[in-house]
Amino acid sequence: MSNIKKDLEVLVKGDLEESPETIENFSHDASMFELRPSLVIAPKDSADVQQIVKYVSQNKAKNPELSITARSAGTDMSGGAVNNSIVLDMLKHFNQILEVNTSTGHAQPGVYYRDFEAETLKHGVLMPSFPASRDLCTIGGMVANNAGGERSLQYGKTEDFVESLKVVLADGNEYEMKPLNKKQLDKKISQNDFEGNLYRDLFKLIDDNYDTIYNAKPKVSKDSTGYHLWNVWDRETGIFDITHLFTGSQGTLGIVTDIKFRLVQAPKESGTLVVFLRSTDDLGDLINTVMKNKPATFEGFDNYTLMLSLRLLPLFHKQIGWVETIKMALQLIPDALKLTRGIPKMILLVEFQDDTKEKVAERVHAMRQDLKSYKHEALFEEDETEAKSRKFWIMRRASFQLLRSKIKDKHTAPFMDDLVVPPATLPNFLPEVRRVIKKYRLLATIAGHMGDGNFHIIPLMNIEKASDKAKLEPAMKEVTAMVLKYGGSLSGEHNDGMIRGPWLKAMYGEQVYDLFKQAKHIFDPQNIFNPHKKTDANWTYSMSHLRDKF
């Protein structure tokens, strides 16, 4: 038994584990990385979290390797949920839905989104920023990554729905964070304690560099990189909101213990226009045409994703059951007939929502009429109900989970998996991406949020081999340069972690990167929270912790 475990067993009520099986289970997430924790703790309550943070803070000087990473479902694709010191398992005990009404949802970070959604739908409402992993992820992970997904086009991202957070900070105390007006902010700043110093230092950092920070905001519709300092202090409204800093911080500033979300009305009816696109030459113009019709959702996936999904179709039963899988296969027969005219380059899903099925059908049909000029490049299917289009949404949402374990000796290698560029640049951007994929002889699937210009490019590699491992850095350099050339962001949803953190300086420049580091230091001067992620990430360190086996 380690000394750390002996010390903490006296202080906490929760479960402390260091068995080989537990260490192995918590040593990796959905990323390419592996860090073996020395201890896994499932805290019972906030008091436990506070005791753990105080212990680490007090012992950090004599044990520099001590640190804490909070983790729930472990679905993070950037390496944000692994650590070689203490991992907090928030899934085991922090899993209570505390209150849901027609406007607000209040729950703990270890609650699965699927369970939270089931409860909100009883009230006819929804927290709409769920990612494609909606059946696997927790709401704590969504806050940590500033998650977004297919509904973000219409509603925005998680940061737009966080009303308040309770967070254990580096002094080992829990604080509530919510929007403050200037009078409330001044009161906080006047406090002669840890919280007062924090508010005072953060306000000064942002206010002194106000224009620099606001000009640094990525000029795309969604972003999960860096620290969103530009959303914290608004001189015009006089609102100061630290929840915007914590949402997307990947647990590098403190440990979230409690979450309140704003909720929206759930859609009553929905339908989808499916577009089988033979060529992407006019994709930019097509996207502009679609966006004029204000779809609720506009998704897409490429021919590689389609063919792999069809190939793996029998395996969908693990997620949706045999009956639904058989239904899905039968529904695909008409679409398979379409494929006899040639495999489409992309399949686009343009979804509309309205109060009645009739209105939805009208909007789906009107969208098809607006795209008549593309009839030589595309085939169309009007799925005026959600049930009819479900087969394509299952492919879009579930394929990554299947790819993680079912493609022989190759594995998902998410290192350029979350790029965002202005949609108008896609006709030039996508061929350049394909050239990089071809240059490095990668098998890769492309799926994305077309209306946002946000693409998930998932290479399938055998990174246990030195030859494949050697491709990561040069390919990442080329893709990063390409994204920045088109005015994009390296991450729309999946965050920085260990894979994109080392490239933050390239994206933002030295001055803004230094402001990010100062913000981290204000909250976490000893670097006890989730090290080696975001501004503390280092490419050499990350590459030295690639998984040896999958």
Please check whether residues 435 and 373 belong to one and the same domain: no
Residue 549 domain-assigned?
A: no
Question: Does the pLDDT of residue 282 top 90, yes or no?
Answer: no
Please check whether residues 123 and 243 belong to one and the same domain: yes
Q: How confident is the model at residue 340 (pLDDT cuts 50, 70, 90)?
A: very low
Q: How far apart are CA 353 and CA 344, in angstroms?
A: 26
Mean pLDDT of the chain: 89
Where does residue 503 rank: exposed (0-12), middle (13-18), buried (19+ CB within 10 A)? buried
Q: How far apart are CA 335 and CA 380, in angstroms?
A: 10
For residue 247, give the DSSP letter: T
Q: How many domains does the chain have?
A: 5
Please check whether residues 427 and 462 belong to one and the same domain: yes
Cβ atoms of 230 and 213 within 8 Å: the answer is yes
Please check whether residues 294 and 367 belong to one and the same domain: yes
Residue 550 domain-assigned?
A: no
Q: How far apart are CA 4 and CA 245, in angstroms?
A: 31
Which one of 89, 116, 141 terminates a domain?
89
Query: Beta-carbon neighbour count of residue 446 at 10 Å?
Result: 21
Please check whether residues 251 and 386 belong to one and the same domain: no
Question: Does the pLDDT of residue 241 top 50, yes or no?
Answer: yes
Please check whether residues 349 and 459 belong to one and the same domain: no
> CB neighbours of 239 closer than 8 A, spacing ≥ 6?
179, 180, 181, 233
Q: How confident is the model at residue 457 (pLDDT cuts 50, 70, 90)?
A: confident
Q: Which domain holds residue 539?
A: 501-543
Please check whether residues 360 and 439 belong to one and the same domain: no
Residue 206 domain-assigned?
A: yes
pTM value is 0.91
Please check whether residues 217 and 298 belong to one and the same domain: no
Residue 538 is predicted with a pLDDT of 96
Q: pLDDT per residue over 175-219, tens digit each?
A: 999 999 999 999 999 999 999 999 999 999 999 999 999 999 999
Residue 548 domain-assigned?
A: no
CATH of the domain at 194: 3.30.465.10
Q: How far apart are CA 369 and CA 366, in angstroms?
A: 5
Q: How confident is the model at residue 536 (pLDDT cuts 50, 70, 90)?
A: very high
Please check whether residues 85 and 101 belong to one and the same domain: no
Please indicate whether residue 549 or residue 276 has the higher confidence score (pLDDT). 276
Q: How far apart are CA 540 and CA 471, in angstroms?
A: 14
Please check whether residues 106 and 231 belong to one and the same domain: yes
Cα–Cα distances (Å) from 79 to 34, 46, 95, 542, in that order, read 8, 25, 23, 9
Question: Three-state SS string across 132-153, please?
Answer: CCCCCCEHHHHHHHCCCCCCHH
Residue 141 domain-assigned?
A: yes
Please check whether residues 140 and 223 belong to one and the same domain: yes
> CB neighbours of 141 closer than 8 A, spacing ≥ 6?
72, 73, 75, 76, 81, 109, 147
Please check whether residues 516 and 438 belong to one and the same domain: no
